[in-house]
């Protein structure tokens, strides 16, 4: 919970620079957060970024330590050792808060695979 609050506070701090896509990667079976997972995005404008989840499985694309995707269709790839890789397209709208500056995207990885 504390890690989630820290990400929210950090995103709030950088909102003046643009949007913030953040979320959590968890084990689809146990629901446990997955630190060390890799989250990569590519948006319709050709922007791309890769981050590694921290403690609590949290990640963010915020424009300061990584690029943030532009609003619209975004392809995410999420992977971790011992889990099936996930590729999914999401429509990012930056509408998960009143200021229209956050997009929250959670991912669930299934054990197995590489």
User: pLDDT (tens digit, 0 to 9) for every residue of the chain, 114 residues total?
Assistant: 555 545 444 444 433 446 888 899 999 999 999 999 999 999 999 999 999 999 899 999 988 878 889 889 999 999 999 999 999 999 988 876 676 577 788 999 999 976
Q: pTM of the full predicted structure? A: 0.80
Smallest CA-to-CA distance from 94 within 3, 18, 9, 16 is with 18
**Token pair 């643009």: residue:** 18
Q: Which domains does the chain have, with CATH numbers?
A: 2-109 (2.60.40.10)
CA distance 2 to 33: 13
């Amino acid at each position: 919970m504390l890690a989630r609050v820290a990400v929210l506070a950090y995103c709030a701090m950088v909102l003046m620079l643009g949007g913030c896509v953040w979320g959590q990667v968890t084990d689809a079976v146990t629901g446990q957060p997955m630190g060390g997972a890799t989250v990569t995005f590519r948006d319709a404008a050709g922007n791309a970024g890769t981050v590694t989840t921290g403690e609590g499985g949290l990640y963010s694309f915020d424009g300061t330590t990584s690029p943030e995707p532009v609003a619209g269709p975004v392809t995410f790839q999420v992977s971790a050792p011992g889990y099936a890789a996930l590729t999914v397209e999401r429509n990012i709208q930056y509408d998960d808060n009143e200021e229209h500056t956050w997009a929250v995207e959670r991912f669930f990885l299934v054990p197995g695979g590489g």
